[in-house]
Structure 1
Amino acid sequence: MKHWLITLALAAAASAQAGPMGFKDSTMAMGDFSPNWREAWVNHALTPRDALGAGGLFMRSDDHRLTREFAELTYTRLLKRINGEHSQANFWFVGGAGELRGNDFAGSKTMLAPGVSADYETTRFYASGSLRLYRAPGINHDFASVRTGFSFYEVDYDEIQPWFILEARRMRGLSEKTEITPMLRFIHNRYFVELGVNNMKQGRFNFMYIF
């Protein structure tokens, strides 16, 4: 019975933590909001490994002089999944393309945004890393982040589980600092929410929901 509960809990953790897409035929919505970074997108899983979606991203430099608005269509691919007895590792490709607007140039530019990420999780531990290249003519805003965290205690499949998450991220061309954010995460089998304050004393709110 305990092994069955662990398996279900791990499946819940995987669906709500691991990746940029849900299970086949599901729709996933995600958001990441802070003063200098506001992102929201949605995608639909066409297969267990492929999803198509759309999103919008607002970026602002630390000194508030530069702003970027990026509207993109996305393709997500699960490249590899490794299942252990009580763990799971995933390797992802996320590609995006769309229109970029900024306050330092006229009109719009076509931006391409390919990226890769990897994650590992159990019901008590989580770690991930991602790299995404935001490129347009004359613009390079490559983005990198790493995360790690742990749950405070085990829960059953239908219960909410609290986690502590620590993230470090940086974007080229808009910030000279590495943003570090400790967050509390509350996770269920189809959603999570995260609340934190970064090292620049800015609030952060994230969410994910699988329909």
Structure 2
Amino acid sequence: MKKFLTAPRTALAAWLMAGVTAAVHAGPMGFRDSTMAMGDFSPNWREAWVNHALTARDAFGVGGVAMRSDDGRLTREFAELTYTRLVHRVNGEHSQANFWFVGGAGPLSGNDFAGSKTMLAPGVSADYETTRFYVSGSLRLYRAPGINHDVASVRTGFSFYETDYDEVQPWLILEARRMRGLSEKTEITPMLRFIHSRYFVEVGINNMKQGRFNFMYIF
């Protein structure tokens, strides 16, 4: 994400950068004792959540997802308690790779059934990043009795140029996403991403001519 620091700026500065790098690029949690808020908004998928990292590898939080089918006839609303775990991390000299688990559970409501159902939402994701290149993939299962809305996505991107740690860096990101039971199409979205040390914002338009806005902020 940002230019890795070299001597004589000390190992401490490099360690601080490594912790923020994973969070800002793709990681679903921040560094220990931090609070992270994220949102993903488009006409058919609106998601927001916040979690708090109790350790360097574990975070608990709350979130909500509003889903809609392509034709607008089917809607779902899911409120969840979440647990995030950094399962494995590999640090290279100028790169980092991460494997994550995210689990959620809570009530699901919809316009095609009465009352609510209990939905479970386990998922995994992996990412690899350097100061100029990024790739990730994720799968999350959204399951309730008689309902399957699994979401799979892959992303890749690159930065336009190097920046210092405290400067905003622009990236171009391309995502392909598929949502079972909600869409018969693969959503392709090119996005501009602007990254700083504790936040990013993304804006784009998908292949269905729908706007997309994402953000992340670490407190």
Q: By the TM > 0.5 criterion, same fold?
A: yes
Q: What aligned pairs does 1:18-97 form with structure 2 within 5 A after superposition?
A: 18-97=26-105
Q: Distance in 1 between matches of 2:116 and 2:5?
A: 55
Choose the corresponding residue for 1:194, options 198, 202, 210: 202
Query: Is the 2:20–2:31 contact (alpha carbons within 8 Å) kept by the matching residues of 1?
Result: no
Offset, 1:195: 0.3
Choose the corresponding residue for 2:159, options 134, 146, 151: 151
Partner of 2:188: 180
Query: Is the 1:18–1:90 contact (alpha carbons within 8 Å) kept by the matching residues of 2?
Result: no
Give unmatched runs, 5+ long, in structure 1: none
1:104-150 CA-partner distances (Å, limit 9, x unpaired) = 00000000000000000011011000000000000001110000000
Q: Distance in 2 between matches of 1:201 and 1:137?
A: 33
- 1:3 corresponds to 2:9: no
Q: Distance in 1 between matches of 2:93 and 2:191?
A: 28
1:10-57 CA-partner distances (Å, limit 9, x unpaired) = 554323113000000000000000000000000000000000000000
Q: Residue type of the partner of 2:57?
A: R
Offset, 1:2: 5.5
Partner of 1:102: 110
Q: Residue type of the partner of 1:3?
A: T
Q: Distance in 2 between matches of 1:30 and 1:61?
A: 22
In structure 2, do the counterparts of structure 1 residues 156 and 9 end up closer, same or farther at CA, with 3 Å as the change threshold?
farther
Q: Distance in 1 between matches of 2:27 and 2:163?
A: 21
Q: Distance in 2 between matches of 1:179 and 1:112?
A: 24
Query: Scaled by the length of structure 2, what TM-score is found?
Result: 0.93
SS of the equivalent of 1:3 reads: coil
Offset, 1:9: 5.4
Moved more, 55-64 or 2-11: 2-11
SS of the equivalent of 2:157 reads: strand
Choose the corresponding residue for 1:171, options 169, 176, 179: 179
SS of the equivalent of 1:173 reads: coil
1:133-189 CA-partner distances (Å, limit 9, x unpaired) = 000000001110000000000000100000000000011001000000000000001
Q: What aligned pairs does 1:130-149 form with structure 2 within 5 A after superposition?
A: 130-149=138-157
Partner of 2:218: 210
Q: Distance in 1 between matches of 2:193 and 2:21?
A: 12
Offset, 1:194: 0.2
Give unmatched runs, 5+ long, in structure 2: none
CA RMSD of the aligned region, Å?
Answer: 1.5
Query: Is the 1:10–1:122 contact (alpha carbons within 8 Å) kept by the matching residues of 2?
Result: no
Query: Scaled by the length of structure 1, what TM-score is found?
Result: 0.97
Query: Is the 1:10–1:87 contact (alpha carbons within 8 Å) kept by the matching residues of 2?
Result: no
